[in-house]
Amino acid sequence: MSDFAIELRGIDKRFGAVHANKNISLAVPRGTIFGLVGENGAGKSTLMSILYGFYQADHGDVFISGQRQQINGPKDAIAAGIGMVFQHLKLVPNMSVLDNLMLGNEGGFVLKRGREAARNLLEELALEHGLSVDPDAIVQELPLGLQQRVEILKQLYRGAKILILDEPTDVLTPQETDELFQILKDLQSRGVTIVFITHKLNEILAATSQVAVIRRGEVVGLLNTSDTNEQQLADLMVGRSVSFKISKTKSKSGPVHLSVHNLTKQGVSRPVLNDISFELRSGEILGVAGIAGNGQTELLEVLSGISSFDRGEISLLGTQMSPLGGRAREVRAAGLSHVPEDRHKFAMVESFSATEVSALGYQDRKPFSSGAWMTWETARAETERLQEQFDVRPRNPELLSGSFSGGNQQKLILSRELSKEAEVLLVGQPTRGVDVGAIEFIHERLLEQRDAGKAILLVSVELEEVLKLSDRILVMFEGRVMGLLDAKDASEQQIGLLMAGTELEEAA
Helices (H), 53-173: 74-79, 97-102, 111-129, 144-157
Residue 34 has a pLDDT of 97
Shared domain check, 435 and 401 = no
pLDDT in tens, 73-112: 999 999 999 999 987 788 998 999 999 988 877 665 546 6
Shared domain check, 190 and 272 = no
Q: Is 244 inside a domain boundary?
A: no
Shared domain check, 270 and 189 = no
Shared domain check, 431 and 384 = no
Residue 243 has a pLDDT of 73
| Rounded Cα–Cα distance for residues 508 and 91 (Å) | 41
Q: Is residue 394 reached through a cis peptide bond, with omega within 30 degrees of 0 on the bond before it?
A: yes
| Rounded Cα–Cα distance for residues 134 and 44 (Å) | 34
Residue 90 has a pLDDT of 84
| Rounded Cα–Cα distance for residues 197 and 39 (Å) | 11
pLDDT in tens, 447-473: 999 999 999 999 998 888 999 999 999
Of 181, 204, 238, the residue at which a domain comes to its end is 238
Q: Is 73 inside a domain boundary?
A: yes
Alpha carbon separation from 289 to 286, 451, 495, 499 (Å, rounded): 10, 22, 8, 7
Q: Is 342 inside a domain boundary?
A: no
Amino acid identity for residue 476 in this structure = M
Contacts of 365 (CB under 8 A, 6+ apart): none
Q: Are 254 and 262 in contact (CB under 8 A)?
A: no
Residue 4 has a pLDDT of 96
Shared domain check, 160 and 49 = yes
Q: Is 392 inside a domain boundary?
A: yes
| Rounded Cα–Cα distance for residues 101 and 46 (Å) | 25
Q: Is 246 inside a domain boundary?
A: no
Contacts of 430 (CB under 8 A, 6+ apart): 339, 410, 414, 442, 446, 458, 460, 465
Shared domain check, 375 and 502 = no
Shared domain check, 378 and 327 = no
**CATH no. for residue 225?**
3.40.50.300
Amino acid identity for residue 409 in this structure = Q
Shared domain check, 380 and 427 = no
In this structure, the number of other CB atoms found within 10 A of the CB of residue 319 comes to 12
Shared domain check, 433 and 414 = no
Domain count, the chain: 3
pTM of the model: 0.74
Residue 438 has a pLDDT of 82
Number of H-type helices and E-type strands within the chain: 18, 22
Residue 198 has a pLDDT of 87
Residue 468 has a pLDDT of 93
Q: Is 241 exposed, middle or buried (0-12, 13-18, 19+ CB in 10 A)?
A: exposed
Amino acid identity for residue 452 in this structure = A
Shared domain check, 359 and 314 = no
| Rounded Cα–Cα distance for residues 219 and 210 (Å) | 13
Residue 107 has a pLDDT of 61
For residue 85, give its domain range: 4-238
Of 420, 441, 458, the residue at which a domain comes to its end is 420
Residue 106 has a pLDDT of 67
Shared domain check, 147 and 105 = yes
The residue among 306, 303, 329 whose CA lies nearest residue 317 is: 303
For residue 62, the Cα-to-chain-centroid distance in whole angstroms is 29
Shared domain check, 117 and 208 = yes
Residue 14 has a pLDDT of 93
Q: Where are the beta strands (DSSP E) in 226-270?
A: 256-266
Residue 500 has a pLDDT of 83
Q: Is 343 inside a domain boundary?
A: no
| Rounded Cα–Cα distance for residues 338 and 457 (Å) | 10
Helices (H), 224-266: 230-238
| Rounded Cα–Cα distance for residues 500 and 475 (Å) | 10
Residue 474 has a pLDDT of 97
Alpha carbon separation from 401 to 17, 206, 357, 408 (Å, rounded): 16, 33, 7, 9
Of 393, 420, 447, the residue at which a domain comes to its end is 420
Q: Mark 189-216 as b/e (b = at least 16 C-beta within 10 Å).
A: eeebbbbbbbbbbebbbebbebbbbbbe
Helices (H), 60-110: 74-79, 97-102
Q: Is 340 inside a domain boundary?
A: no
Low-confidence ranges of the chain (pLDDT < 70): 1, 106-113, 171, 173-174
